[in-house]
Each structure stands twice: as C-alpha cells, then as structure tokens.
Amino acid sequence: MNSHIITVSGGSAQKLARAWLWLGLMALIGSGLLAILLVLSRTPGIQDVFPLKDFFRSALVVHVDLSVAVWFMAFAAVIWSALGRDGAAWLGWSGFALAAAGTAVMTVSPFLPGADPVLNNYIPVLQQQVFYASLWICGAGFSLAVVRALITTWPRPFFGAPLQLGAFLGAVAAFLALAAFVWSWAMVPRIEEKIYFEVLFWGGGHTLQFQHALLLAVAWLWLAAHLGHPCAASPRALSVMFWIAALPLVMVPLIYVTEDPGSLPHMELFAKLMVWGHPYMAPLILAGFLSLWSARKAAPGPAKSAFIASFSLFAVGGVLAYMIKGANVVIPAHYHGSTVGVTLAFMGLGYVLLPQLGFGEVKGRMARWQPYVYGGGQLIHVVGLAWSGGYGVQRKVAGAEQALTTLPQKLGMGMMGLGGLIAVIGGIMFVLVCLKVMVPRRR
C-alpha cells in the first residue's frame, strides 16, 4: 500500500536532511519576526501609531527572501537529502555551510548602513555590498546542494520511483533556474537599478516556480501515503505525470538562446511560459485532489490538516492568478495563496519527516490545529488583499502611501492585517511544535 513512499535511511542523507531542516526553520523564525512589522505597517489605525514606513521596504526584502527563497530552497534540500542516496556528502555539507553563512549575513544586512531596498519580483534586494555578498554565498551553497541532488536522486528506473523522480526533476528545475540567474548576470547591462534587478531575476525566478510546483506534488503524494491512502495511480502513471509537469522546462534554455536576457521578447516569453506551462501540472494536481479525497476519513492529525490547508490555499492562489488586472494587491494575493500552499505542504511533510530524521514524533492539538490557524489566517490575508485590489489599492506601498480613502479599501486592508497576524501566530505555532521535538530536553 505504501509503495510510493521512500523511508529515509540513516547515514549522511539523514544527517544532511536534519541540518537543512534546521536552516529552513531558522529562516522561518527570522521571516516571522519581520512579518509582524510588515503587517503593523499596513494595518489601518496601527500604521499611524508605529512609524514603520521607512523600515517597511527593507523589512519586506529580507522577509520575502527568507520566507520564500531560503525556506523553499532549504526544504527542497531536505527532500533531496531524504529521497536521495548516500554519497557526495562533502557537496551537501559544503553547500549547507555556505547557505547557512549567507542566510546569517542576509538577516543582519538591513540593520547595517546603506540598505537601500529595491522591491523587484522573485528575489528583492538591498543595494548594499553586504546583502550582495549574502546572495552570492547563499547561491553558491544552494548550487552545491542542487548538484548533489542531481547525483543522488537520479531515479533508477525512471518510471519506478515517482517521488524520487519528482525530486530529481525539481532539482533539474533548480539547476536551470540557477543557470538562468548566472546567464542573466553575465549578459544584462547594468541599467537603472529597479529595472536591472527585475530583468536579472526574471528568467530564473519564473523557472524556480516549476521547482516549487514539482516538490509540492512530491509533498502531497508523500502526505497521502503517510495517511494510509496513497494515490491510486500506478507508479508508472505518476512518473508520466511528473514528466509531463516538467516538460515546459525545455523552453528555458531555448528562450535564453533565442532572445537576449532582459529584452522585452525574453520577458514576454517567460510570462507566457507561466501561463501556458503550469497547466501541465493539472494531472498531478488532480492526483493530489483524489488522494486528499481518499484520505478524508483518515484520523485527524497534523499531516492531514496540512494536506487540506495546503491544497485549499494553492487552489485559491491559482484562481486568483486569472483575476490579475494591473499592478494592485491582487498580485500578492495570488502569490501568497500559491506560495503558502507550498509552505503548508512542506510544513506537513516536515511533521512526517521529524521522527524519520531522528527527532521525536509530532503529537498534540497544537500540531493538529497549526496548519488550520496558519492557513486560515493566510486565507483571510489573501481575501483581504484580493478585495482591496479590486478597489485599486496598489502593491508594495505602506502607510499613507496606500491612499485608503473608501470604506471597502479600508475593510479589505483591515482583513489583510487581521489575517496576517493570525498567520504569524500559526507560523509561531509551527516553530514551537518543531522545536519541542527537535531540541533535546535536559534531564
């Protein structure tokens, strides 16, 4: 019945997975602390008491980079380590050391002089040498982790281990994304800062979304198997679904070869790749839904809660993607739904993996309710943003710059603030649940 799942073995793979999980957890802690300031800086009434407008953009940069770039890549490394074979451990440990050092430098960078934020998409930056150094160090660390993942998750055979295949294809997406970042850095001329960083991370940022989507499917199928209701599709059928989902990645090098990075056709093609490429995930999404439906009678627990919350938020984010019109807060409503869907899947898989990584078993009501609190808060947050976006509230602004003049605008952003605070509580609950079983108790 559990033929689709791979048990984490001991040795270097388990130790690396433990280390990467710690890094992801630390990134979430830092991101959550900054999220409190972000929510307060945009909540009507509170924003007038706390003059956080000037700090808003710097905090937003590091919040996004920690909660999306570092957390997602760190947990991706958890999956690659857990599903991969032993071997090339030096690559994994070197990558971890660099990524951890880069994350530490990134976390302190906004508090150092000269932190001038640029709120470009995907990987926002601070125009500051310390922050630039943190990006290079993190990038080098995650690159080594990706190279090791390509070596150790290579599926044998290609159609017999769908989860390992999904992890491998996620690593392929990550490799292409990192290559796209380097290619753009080498080719894009240094122009006006905001435009420069937008085009610099455009191609690689779009490519990374395929990594997240593929690993999301891996997490869903793993959760379903853990709940005793693995996907009814055969391993071969699931493998074919993963190959179909990864097929659009073929276009990434072709776009770079045919169009200059940073050119308008280059950016338009990547935008179209998102629109036309992600529907190739449909078979895997359907498999996830059917697995979730099959597991609806499973006993309540953290894994089931995370599966339900993850699929729900990801579905909401997907629907909102087709409602984007203009540069308003419907855009962050969409990506908050989608990325939080991925985060919740990773949280649930983290609960499943903790005992297999040598930590304690996750139990209790807090763990069972944590995904609902975090997911419910994020749902209120997303609905508030989408509502406000429909009334013209612009993105990436705070305080008086939001120009909240009508009651619907204020209600929507009030919902955003309330949902954000609830989500922060849910995030804190996740950290506490993990720390409870990860930190050894003194006797």
Instruction: Over range 412-428, report the average pLDDT.
Output: 81
Residue carrying the six token digits 């690689």 = 204
How many structural domains is the chain composed of?
1
Q: Is residue 180 part of a domain?
A: no
Task: Please indicate whether residue 328 or residue 359 has the higher confidence score (pLDDT).
Answer: 359
Question: The domain containing residue 391 runs over which residues?
Answer: 299-443
Instruction: Look up residue 394 and give its DSSP letter.
Output: B
pLDDT at 292: 94
* Secondary structure of residue 158 in the 3-state scheme: coil
pLDDT at 404: 47
pLDDT at 330: 65
Task: List beta partners, residue 320.
Answer: none
Q: Is residue 376 part of a domain?
A: yes
List pLDDT tens digits, range 70-112: 999 999 999 999 998 888 899 999 999 999 999 999 988 887 8
Domain of residue 366, CATH code: 1.20.120
- Predicted confidence band at 125 (pLDDT cuts at 50, 70, 90)? very high
Model pTM greater than 0.85? yes
406 pLDDT more than 70: no
Q: Is residue 369 part of a domain?
A: yes
DSSP 222-277: HHHHHTT---SS-HHHHHHHHHHHHGGGGHHHHHHHHS-TTSHHHHHHHHHHHHHH
344 pLDDT more than 60: yes
> Alpha carbon of 370 to those of 307, 344, 361, 378, 429: distances in Å?
12, 10, 15, 12, 6
Q: Is residue 115 part of a domain?
A: no
155 pLDDT more than 80: yes
Q: Is residue 203 part of a domain?
A: no
Instruction: Look up residue 442 and give its DSSP letter.
Output: P
Q: Could you give the CA distance from residue 202 to residue 196 in angstroms, rounded to a whole number?
A: 10
Instruction: Over range 389-401, report the average pLDDT.
Output: 47
pLDDT at 47: 52
From the CB of residue 311, how many other CB atoms can be counted at a distance below 10 Å? 23
Stated length of the chain: 443
Q: Is residue 333 part of a domain?
A: yes
3 pLDDT more than 70: no
Residues sharing a CB contact under 8 Å with residue 308, sequence separation 6 or more, in sequence order: 292, 371, 372
Q: Is residue 413 part of a domain?
A: yes
Q: Could you give the CA distance from residue 238 to residue 418 in angstroms, rounded to a whole number?
A: 40
193 pLDDT more than 80: no
pLDDT at 180: 97
- Predicted confidence band at 393 (pLDDT cuts at 50, 70, 90)? low
- Predicted confidence band at 17 (pLDDT cuts at 50, 70, 90)? very high
